[in-house]
Amino acid sequence: GAVVSQHPSRVICKSGTSVKIECRSLDFQATTMFWYRQFPKKSLMLMATSNEGSKATYEQGVEKDKFLINHASLTLSTLTVTSAHPEDSSFYICSASGQGEYEQYFGPGTRLTVT
């Protein structure tokens, strides 16, 4: 089956710094990648959709300048949380879909803690 990885699995950063999370499709070409945020004991909320080589489409209420998404290749998308604050602490999950496919394959998630 299709495998998606995320790195790092957990990260702690200081308030005001930036942190980058990588999402990779290991055995297929991901034309579309999605970034979700999940608060404790809550559901997944879509933050943005990115297509390879195009600018990401952000959901309403998600700050584009704070959550920078880059999808420069068919196997890699990155989410950069800029000037992180404690309220950005959360579990971030990516998923990926191949060309013409509807099914999303999920990464294992990244736990971000901002101190």
Q: Residue 97 interacts with other proteins (CB under 8 A)?
A: yes
Compute the least distance from the CB of residue 20 to other proteins, in Å. Answer: 20
Candidates 20-28, 61-69, 72-80, 101-109; binding stretch for other proteins (CB under 8 A): 101-109
Backbone angles phi, psi at 33, to 5 degrees: -125, 150
Stretch that binds other proteins, among 21-29, 63-71, 74-82, 94-102 (CB under 8 A): 94-102
Residue 102 half-sphere exposure toward CB, CA atoms < 13 A: 0
Q: β-pairing, 57-58 with 67-73?
A: unpaired
Task: Determine if 43 is a binding residue for other proteins (CB under 8 A).
Answer: yes
- Cα gap 70→67, rounded to integer Å: 10
